[in-house]
């Protein structure tokens, strides 16, 4: 079997197509993972805010932690006193 230019060209073309398909699939998969992670982050953020709003409605102080830092928050509506007559 002799190696001709046409055979070499066909082999290079097949390798190029295989490489291109693998690269495109990797790129699509990476984009999909990024979108899923971003969606999960946004959903977690919304869930946290909704839980904070729900807890603030009870007029109890709410402890919030971030590492070693801690604060307590309370709904401003709970601090307002009714006008005296």
pLDDT digits (tens, 9 = 90+) for 68-83: 999 999 888 888 765 5
> 3-state class of 62 per DSSP?
strand
Provide φ and ψ at 16, rounded to 5°: -65, -40
Q: Is the pTM of this model over 0.85?
A: no
Sign of CA dihedral 18, 19, 25, 29: positive
Q: Which two tokens stand for residue 19?
A: 């490489």
Taking the domains of the chain in order of start, what are their residue ranges?
Answer: 5-79
Length of the chain: 85
Q: Is 85 helix (H, G, I), strand (E, B) or coil?
A: coil
Segment 27-66, tens digit of pLDDT: 999 999 999 999 999 999 999 999 999 998 888 889 999 9
Neighbours of 55 (CB within 10 A): 15
């Amino acid at each position: 079997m002799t190696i001709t230019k046409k055979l070499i060209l066909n082999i290079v073309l097949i390798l190029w197509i295989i490489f291109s398909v693998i690269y495109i699939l990797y790129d699509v998969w990476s984009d999909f993972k990024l979108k899923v992670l971003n969606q999960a982050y946004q959903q977690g953020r919304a869930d946290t805010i909704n839980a904070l709003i729900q807890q603030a409605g009870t007029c109890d102080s709410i402890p919030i932690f971030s590492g070693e830092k801690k604060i307590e928050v309370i709904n401003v509506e709970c601090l307002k006193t009714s006008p005296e007559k």
